[in-house]
Structure 1
């Protein structure tokens, strides 16, 4: 090891910071309980042993730091951390293990599984109470010193006028899946950040009419060992090992900081096209698993600080996530890690917001969920994070974890109740009238009364988790055999209906039914109050062959098939028509809840619920199950103003949803009405196109019809 004049360095910021004018790197690592910390540097050509070992002799509180002259971007590094190995006390220090810096801005590859990456001896009868002395340098990916400079074209993006929630249409997608099979892209960028950043894909998204791209996890993650042993990979990415590094497998140009540049290029391109970027983040757990998991980073740096441990026996972890551990956000340094990470993705990577996986776990204070927890208070007062889009998956797997409707007012939530109610309705289940009406009007029963608006509700029929839309109308049961978990994984209840045949078929009647059902779902989504979210690929009929938990299917099961037949092109065009319709009509994007009252002296209520005989719905109907719903949204009674302070007005719409398999006769309400949306793959009959008051019209079973009033007689 060559001597070099080390400097004590500064205790801030955490991580490894290249300081160009001083020609060196400042390293800072948090550990409250360590007794000694060593920095390891590696050459890019040899990673089985360190090139240099540098002890961090300077300690400020719980921060260990050093400045190393002569190191530059591209340098690989890791840590060894010394301290007691007493798992029963929550301490798991093992200086034989190379540890990834939690603040590394890039990581140069993927974990290679080997028994040596565990802090204990695999196979020992004492399990994790044993101690493993093997070195694991060659199996652990290393941190990379990066050059943070990037020539942004969206400068001051944070201060620009953002796309308000009321104008947002979210498209949930996967970096690899969306472009892996795009034959019109260069092969080397398919399935990468640059693939999605291409003009081809950005033009596609703009043409589809979406405003916001929500990207599944792109923070560095690990393929679980049990998946790798089955010959599979973690495709979704909900198994993070670092919260600052963009996932290196999505880089087309290598992993020595190139992944950072490519992600910035992606965001820059999307912003230049007027599209927003939301990233899916997993701050609830890490890839280190439970007491029998590997020692890769946090566990070996300061286990008892980073994780929630069982107070009765600190050998064991509290698991609210179903993955073996839960991050301990009640520790100030762990909370700081998460907040520093979030701000980094906004200020350095320019993302517009976050979708928080299993967000209830972030509010855990031991066994209870507390929405006034430090995490939410910290975000609410943060001048950066309080100004971006915040979306919660409002549950975890612990007791009391289902928290739909309970997140603070800044937050929007994935509305799982919306998904289930609309699925059940179109399956043909009788649904409580009141429940259905609430879901269609932005779920005021869940969100009203706490300063929230209908935009607290992210409405969706499908997401990555579960069936695709095509599979929702093609399968009654999950078919997850390819996951090699005995078809025991994934939700058993999908509220799906296959139209009479399970899976693929050539029966024209079944296919017609499925086409109609897909359109019924999309129409319902875009006439509901709240923020619509489309699962990427649904617009082109993507199928996973009935797999409702394709988390380990990094193959054609999950990748989008772009060989579109005429049928899939027609459905794509239908979805595009719906996004344009939604944008054109503010009545479906109300910023306030409907009141069911006459407003501004209007003779008409803002929403009127009707029985098939034309009379208004009464309390007895409101409290009863139904498989149809009829209502009018009155465009002249919108109690809102636009950006320029002018009152908003729109057309008036009659919405008829018949979820039953039988036809429904209705009496047409006052006025003359023109059909604007229907689920038929062909043109409907003329008697449906224009209807007039007091006439009786027969609505087919399983049909959503949207009429616009063209005359008020």
Structure 2
């Protein structure tokens, strides 16, 4: 515990802002929030972060912020923190100066957490006591860096809500197996912005990339012991530092520089860039987890602790701890990080993991919580896209439809209604139409429109599209949790055979169902989101919780991309762009849509609740583009004959069908719609064949 022997430089008082390490003309200013600490030491290391060179006590404390300025220091300096204070679990204090801690404002992290018990702040044999072993040689440290210059306002891409089509992807998995991306760039930030991948996105017609978490992470010790990692990235430890594992294999590659380069290149190609952020918990997990940063700096400040039992954490995240954004200093960390990603990394918005946790205090969730108010008034963040995952596992944690405008929300009601309609016969017409028409029962309040809902059939969490029609049960044994993890309720089907099949009838049915689901996603009111890989038929072998699979289970299989499927997705999205009525942000009125029985009559009240013979049509007399639009749905196992609406508009032209590739055709007064099928027809307007 004694400091290294050398003559330390003198620290000036510096200033309590900005937080973190900030290069100045005369040196580097350091500032860290630790209001309950009795002292904070700045520990300087060699360039590799292995050898501690000197410890310097931060000389000033302004309202709980410890600060000091190191003269002559600059970019490249590697440092950590030792924070002194009481070890008092009953009061929520876990100070242990034997452990070097990572600055939560670090822009670049040196080292990697290996899961060893040397990172524990508590004695593993006696958890109520502090661990006295020094971990300086292996601890995570920060490197002082020069921040990228701010992005000009005009360089951001802001896609109009009515035009947005999201594409959720993992930076590593998207291009690890892409043959058109050079080997040294595969699985990296620069792989995502490589022309071979960008051209694919452009052909699809997506507008907005929703990138899974990019913040530097620390994998759980349990996973590391199994030879796995938290591949998805929902285990953050440094919210300002882009994950180093996504840097390219080029010599001297910098995650910070390449992440910014990726965003700039995507902007130049016209794409909007959103990033999934995790501010509900940290990688330090529960009271048995490691002491890496926040826990050792200001445990009681940063976390929701159990009332009357401050030795334990609330676990509304399911990951062991929950950050307390009701505390101003914690809220400041989150706001500073978000602004940094917008201003210095150039991102255009965020998807917030387990977003109800961000609006919780001792009284529970509120849409008027400090975090939502802070974002709404912020001159930078109030202008970007904000998307909530509207649930956590805390009390009353399901909050779909309860976030304030202009927030958007992942709409699992759409997902479940559409899946049940096409795959399990588990919903009547009424339930499906609610999903198709934008989930008005959820979002029709507070001047919110259909685009508030982000519709998805699949996402990173759960079955992907191919597996959704190939497996009834999860197959997650590779995760090392005895197949107990992941959702058990998937509303999936296997089309008669569990898993892979070479039966032509089974394969044909699976393809028909997938195409119907994709068309439904594209043609429903709301903001559509496509999961990367669904358009090429990638399978995760039935794993519906592949969070720890950094391998060919999750790496998209471009070599075996399914012929024609991406072209079909592109046709669906082109049809959506063509018809403004499908993209509007107001609810359909009775004059804008007619819901019809296959015989051509309007659906009666009892027809809405039938769970057999569920086929129906949606007729939009003014679908946009100066023409009428007719959507025909048959989720049943038998064909249905449809009588088509008659008018003076001329014949109906078939422009999309989910059962087979479209051959240009004109429909007569009626048609027979095959089983498990969706057709789209147009009448009037300038005809553009979408086949």
Bin for the TM-score computed over the shorter chain:
over 0.9
Q: Would you say the 8 A contact 1:39–1:79 is kept in 2?
A: yes
Partner of 2:152: 155
Matched ranges for 1:387-406 at <5 A: 387-406=383-402
Deviation at 1:131, TM superposition (A): 1.6
Deviation at 1:148, TM superposition (A): 1.2
Matched, 1:652 2:628: yes
The whole-number CA distance in structure 1 between the counterparts of 2:327 and 2:553 is 41
Matched, 1:66 2:68: yes
Partner of 2:578: 584
Partner of 2:640: 664
Partner of 1:643: none
Q: 2:12 aligns with which of 4, 7, 11?
A: 7
Matched, 1:222 2:218: yes
Deviation at 1:508, TM superposition (A): 0.6
Q: Would you say the 8 A contact 2:76–2:144 is kept in 1?
A: yes
Q: Would you say the 8 A contact 2:22–2:29 is kept in 1?
A: yes
Q: Could you state the TM-score of these two structures normalised by the residue count of structure 2?
A: 0.95
Question: What's the RMSD between the two structures over aligned residues?
Answer: 1.9
Change (3 A) 1:273 1:682: closer
Deviation at 1:399, TM superposition (A): 2.0
Matched, 1:308 2:304: yes
Change (3 A) 1:574 1:221: same
Matched, 1:35 2:33: no
The whole-number CA distance in structure 2 between the counterparts of 1:626 and 1:408 is 38
Change (3 A) 1:61 1:711: closer
Matched ranges for 1:195-214 at <5 A: 195-214=191-210
Matched, 1:177 2:173: yes
Matched, 1:456 2:436: no
Q: Would you say the 8 A contact 1:284–1:321 is kept in 2?
A: yes
Q: 1:489 aligns with which of 481, 485, 490?
A: 485
The whole-number CA distance in structure 2 between the counterparts of 1:143 and 1:628 is 60
The whole-number CA distance in structure 2 between the counterparts of 1:339 and 1:560 is 34
Matched ranges for 1:402-421 at <5 A: 402-421=398-417
Once the two structures are superposed, residues 553-577 of structure 1 have per-residue CA deviations (whole angstroms, 9 ceiling, x without a partner) of 0000000111135xx1311111122
Q: 2:617 aligns with which of 631, 646, 651?
A: 631
Change (3 A) 1:392 1:678: same
Matched, 1:707 2:675: no
Deviation at 1:632, TM superposition (A): 3.4
SS of 2:310's partner is coil
Once the two structures are superposed, residues 568-606 of structure 1 have per-residue CA deviations (whole angstroms, 9 ceiling, x without a partner) of 13111111222222222212101211111xxxxxxxx20
Q: Would you say the 8 A contact 1:520–1:703 is kept in 2?
A: yes
Matched ranges for 1:198-347 at <5 A: 198-252=194-248, 258-347=254-343
Q: 1:439 aligns with which of 398, 410, 435?
A: 435
Once the two structures are superposed, residues 638-674 of structure 1 have per-residue CA deviations (whole angstroms, 9 ceiling, x without a partner) of 7xxxxxxxxx654211111111112222222224211
Change (3 A) 1:3 1:139: closer
SS of 1:518's partner is helix
Runs of at least 5 residues in structure 2 that lack an aligned partner in the other structure: 1-5, 687-691
Q: Would you say the 8 A contact 2:595–2:619 is kept in 1?
A: no
Once the two structures are superposed, residues 411-470 of structure 1 have per-residue CA deviations (whole angstroms, 9 ceiling, x without a partner) of 111100100110011114141332211111111111112111111010110000011111
SS of 1:573's partner is helix
Matched, 1:543 2:548: no
Deviation at 1:356, TM superposition (A): 0.4
Deviation at 1:375, TM superposition (A): 0.9
Partner of 1:572: 566
Change (3 A) 1:531 1:255: farther
Change (3 A) 1:482 1:181: same
Partner of 2:652: 673
Deviation at 1:699, TM superposition (A): 1.6
Deviation at 1:6, TM superposition (A): 2.4
Change (3 A) 1:257 1:31: farther
Once the two structures are superposed, residues 347-401 of structure 1 have per-residue CA deviations (whole angstroms, 9 ceiling, x without a partner) of 1111000000011111112352211111111111111111100000000011211
Change (3 A) 1:459 1:255: farther
User: Which deviates more from structure 2 when the two are superposed, residues 574-583 or residues 334-343?
Assistant: 574-583
The whole-number CA distance in structure 1 between the counterparts of 2:172 and 2:626 is 40
Partner of 1:18: 23
Deviation at 1:235, TM superposition (A): 0.7
Partner of 1:144: 143
Partner of 1:610: 596
Q: Would you say the 8 A contact 1:250–1:259 is kept in 2?
A: yes
Change (3 A) 1:383 1:650: farther
Once the two structures are superposed, residues 500-530 of structure 1 have per-residue CA deviations (whole angstroms, 9 ceiling, x without a partner) of 1111111111111111111101111111011
The whole-number CA distance in structure 1 between the counterparts of 2:276 and 2:157 is 23
Q: Would you say the 8 A contact 2:456–2:521 is kept in 1?
A: yes
User: Which deviates more from structure 2 when the two are superposed, residues 413-422 or residues 191-200?
Assistant: 191-200
Q: Would you say the 8 A contact 1:428–1:659 is kept in 2?
A: no
Deviation at 1:145, TM superposition (A): 0.5
The whole-number CA distance in structure 2 between the counterparts of 1:109 and 1:572 is 40
Change (3 A) 1:380 1:200: same
Deviation at 1:85, TM superposition (A): 0.2
Q: Would you say the 8 A contact 1:106–1:255 is kept in 2?
A: no
The whole-number CA distance in structure 2 between the counterparts of 1:419 and 1:62 is 47
The whole-number CA distance in structure 1 between the counterparts of 2:443 and 2:225 is 45
Once the two structures are superposed, residues 248-295 of structure 1 have per-residue CA deviations (whole angstroms, 9 ceiling, x without a partner) of 111126999921111100000000111011000000000111111111
The whole-number CA distance in structure 2 between the counterparts of 1:548 and 1:3 is 54
The whole-number CA distance in structure 2 between the counterparts of 1:564 and 1:650 is 40
Deviation at 1:3, TM superposition (A): 3.6
The whole-number CA distance in structure 1 between the counterparts of 2:499 and 2:61 is 62
SS of 2:105's partner is coil
User: Which deviates more from structure 2 when the two are superposed, residues 615-624 or residues 358-367?
Assistant: 615-624
Change (3 A) 1:471 1:553: same
Q: Would you say the 8 A contact 1:607–1:631 is kept in 2?
A: no
Matched ranges for 1:48-63 at <5 A: 48-63=50-65
